[in-house]
Structure 1
Amino acid sequence: MTLPDETTPRIAILGAGAVGSLVAARLVQSGLAPSLVARGARLEQLRAKGLWLRENGAEPIHLPVRAASASEAGAQDIVFLALKAHAIEPALPDIARLVTPTTFVVPLINGVPWWYFQGDGARTVRAVDPHGALARFFAPSRLVGAVLFLTASLDDDGAVLASGPERIVMGTVSTATDTDPSATLAPLRSALGATSLAVRFVDEVRRDLWSKIALNLATNPLSVVAQATLAEQFNDPALVPTVTAVLRETIALARRLGVEPRYDLDEMLAIGRAAGPFRTSMAQDHARGAPLELDAIARSVLELAETHELPMPTARTVTEICSFLDGRSDTARDPV
């Protein structure tokens, strides 16, 4: 699979939330002209005000970006899916307008991705692909796994707020023995290598994925239950034991699946301690009454644990409490 013989690849980011907007900003800063694909009020906001970026408390800067609908953007060479995992299946009609048989698709999602077992039989992860629609739609050969280590949020005025280090790890999804990861990723490496996106390409992306899955599961549900920032979760004596227990449980599950996470327990704890007073994406969603990503971040992991008969008591308890709180939010969102 190669990109068309063009000087500048056609790149679209589907989803103009915090992550999608930050990726778009970095590409624009690197001299590329991506399409930031959005819908509804967010699309109108971007068209009226443009894309604004605030970094580490500095004055905001305006970045010229093409805000477009999927039909306006059209076929692309690289598509970043910056959507919540549960929003991908409903977005398939829009995705179909952007993707061709040669398009690289890079999902920027939390938790266990639907593609985890693609290339290794027809097994799906029900929590994130209950109907198998994503497994049928996306061929493993055109998927690039991505693991995000960054902190971003949207301000009330729609500006993206960026703080702390940023890193994206990418690798091939297919586990076919005849796949050459270096050759498969070469066109993407060429397109993104000169950008300000801090991208690292690896041969075994699932190792990095499990490090992020563990950190997400240990912090996102607990951030809602305890109303705690990352700094509090990794430094407060009342919360550190819970975080540590969930990390241990998730590392054990990864090993049961034959994967050694890129970071060990001590390294994960060190990453968390350095995160600062940041609210997780799940805490941000809960604060504004939005649905929580429990299926991708928590229930998918627990599904795999059940399949492999591995108890995860701490993760399960925190998830169930978080689910209860999310249910109360559902009631508030949809009053009788």
Structure 2
Amino acid sequence: MKICIYGAGAIGGYLGVQLARAGVEVSLVARGAHLAAMKQHGLKLLIGGEEHVVHPRCTDRPAELGPQDYVIICLKAHSITGVLEQMQPLLGPNTRIVTAVNGIPYWYFHKHGGALEGSTLESIDPGGRQWRELGPERAIGCIVYPATEIEAPGVIRHVYGDRFPLGEPSGETTADVQRLSDAFARAGMQAPVLDRIRDEIWLKLWGNVCFNPISALTHGTLDVICSDPGTRALSKAIMLESQAIAESFGVKFRVDVERRIEGARKVGAHKTSMLQDLERSRPMEIDPLVTVVQEMGRLTGISTPALDAVLALVAQRASIAGLYEASVRSAEPRAAAFA
């Protein structure tokens, strides 16, 4: 089994070490000082009080690696379109694309059914390029629950979690998704195969759509946002708007909104990824986490006044900081042909 992890940062590096330790032929695509350190010293994972070092093939030139069985995309979602051309040499006739990214993935309306079957969303896939050049038929969904961080170039620290639920867009348990799940399990991670992967995508996005932008605006951690009456109420309003949109597409939430907020509060003084990006002057993941929900609301005719207000504020905040450039978007998706 050949697996390429495209974007071997904190999560990708964690996956790379664990899979390599389990005997999988892993290659990593990375860049900069992190890549240089991995090439020279290997990739180190600090986990459970132990250190593990592996020496997988590392490169910033994917064409060197050839076709893979699986390409696990661990980039920020807004970065994917910019590397589509470089990904092409990794794609053989049977290669599967595993979208280990936050937010709604490019393949969302593949085998979805209904009026929007075969459509793309401009806010996450401008011009439908991911749909055409990666192909929705290659996709396997993946939700990332662990928290990890790059402690130093070539060094990954595991903070908590080991769950990476997987699922085919069709809901089937195919040989491909089961094989990947088994590989994750051998590597000490939980990767259950779900028959309703979109439900799990929305469950995670449900928190991201509100907590991320609010934290970037207030610099509050999760415990503060979820305890303060004002920001808790605002979070709940955005979540209820998002829930109405998701349920219009047939999504089922296995917890209610109060339980979801309480779960976030109990995480404690955690900074969301969007706040961390703002503080570190990195491009902010606004479109895949927030704008896409607004776009889907417009498709369904469901109004999103709370989300609209927070999105306008966080987009301006990020634009002023030079960390976000809104793409040209349409309220209507386009029908998309398979690659």
TM-score, reference length from structure 1: 0.87
Query: 2 CA distance for matches of 1:257 and 1:46?
Result: 43
- Are 1:67 and 2:73 matched, yes or no? no
Asked if 2 retains the 8 angstrom alpha-carbon contact of 1:210 and 1:262, the reply is: no
2:79 maps to: 87
Q: Which amino acid aligns with 1:204?
A: R
1:47 maps to: 39
Query: 2 CA distance for matches of 1:182 and 1:273?
Result: 37
Q: 1:259 aligns with which of 251, 257, 261?
A: 251
Query: 2 CA distance for matches of 1:114 and 1:196?
Result: 28
Matched ranges for 1:215-230 at <5 A: 215-230=207-222
Q: 1:163 aligns with which of 154, 159, 162?
A: 159
2:225 maps to: 233
Q: Which amino acid aligns with 1:133?
A: R
2:126 maps to: 130
Q: Which moved more, 1:242-251 or 1:286-295?
A: 242-251
Q: Which moved more, 1:118-127 or 1:204-213?
A: 118-127
Query: 2 CA distance for matches of 1:172 and 1:316?
Result: 31
Q: Deviations over 1:88-114 (max 9, x none)?
A: 122112211112111121011111111
Asked if 1 retains the 8 angstrom alpha-carbon contact of 2:38 and 2:55, the reply is: no
Asked if 1 retains the 8 angstrom alpha-carbon contact of 2:146 and 2:161, the reply is: yes
Query: 2 CA distance for matches of 1:156 and 1:278?
Result: 20
Q: 2:140 aligns with which of 124, 139, 144?
A: 144
Structure 1 residue 190 displacement after superposition? 3.7
Question: Number of matched residues?
Answer: 320
> Structure 1 60/145 Cα, relative in aligned 2: closer, same or farther at 3 Å?
same
2:264 maps to: 272
Asked if 1 retains the 8 angstrom alpha-carbon contact of 2:166 and 2:197, the reply is: yes
Matched ranges for 1:1-336 at <5 A: 9-55=1-47, 58=49, 61-68=52-59, 69-119=61-111, 120=113, 121-174=117-170, 180-183=172-175, 185-330=177-322
- 1:317 alignment partner, SS class: helix
Q: Which amino acid aligns with 2:96?
A: F
Structure 2 stretches lacking a partner, 5+ long: 326-339
Query: 1 CA distance for matches of 2:175 and 2:20?
Result: 27
Structure 1 residue 132 displacement after superposition? 0.9
Q: Which amino acid aligns with 2:261?
A: L
Query: 2 CA distance for matches of 1:82 and 1:328?
Result: 27
Asked if 2 retains the 8 angstrom alpha-carbon contact of 1:30 and 1:194, the reply is: yes
Asked if 2 retains the 8 angstrom alpha-carbon contact of 1:12 and 1:79, the reply is: yes
- 1:116 alignment partner, SS class: coil
Query: 1 CA distance for matches of 2:217 and 2:8?
Result: 27
Structure 1 residue 166 displacement after superposition? 2.8
- 1:79 alignment partner, SS class: strand
Identical-residue share of aligned pairs (%): 29
- 2:108 alignment partner, SS class: helix
Query: 2 CA distance for matches of 1:66 and 1:264?
Result: 44
Structure 1 residue 280 displacement after superposition? 1.6
- 2:122 alignment partner, SS class: coil
2:335 maps to: none
Structure 1 residue 22 displacement after superposition? 1.7
Query: 2 CA distance for matches of 1:183 and 1:31?
Result: 20
Q: Deviations over 1:281-322 (max 9, x none)?
A: 211111111111111111111001112121222222222111
Structure 1 stretches lacking a partner, 5+ long: 1-8
Q: Which amino acid aligns with 2:221?
A: T
Q: Which amino acid aligns with 1:137?
A: E
> Structure 1 277/159 Cα, relative in aligned 2: closer, same or farther at 3 Å?
farther
> Structure 1 190/70 Cα, relative in aligned 2: closer, same or farther at 3 Å?
same
Query: 2 CA distance for matches of 1:332 and 1:93?
Result: 23
1:6 maps to: none
TM-score, reference length from structure 2: 0.86
Asked if 1 retains the 8 angstrom alpha-carbon contact of 2:2 and 2:24, the reply is: no
Query: 2 CA distance for matches of 1:188 and 1:332?
Result: 34
Q: Which amino acid aligns with 1:213?
A: L
Query: 2 CA distance for matches of 1:20 and 1:143?
Result: 18
RMSD of equivalent CA atoms = 2.3
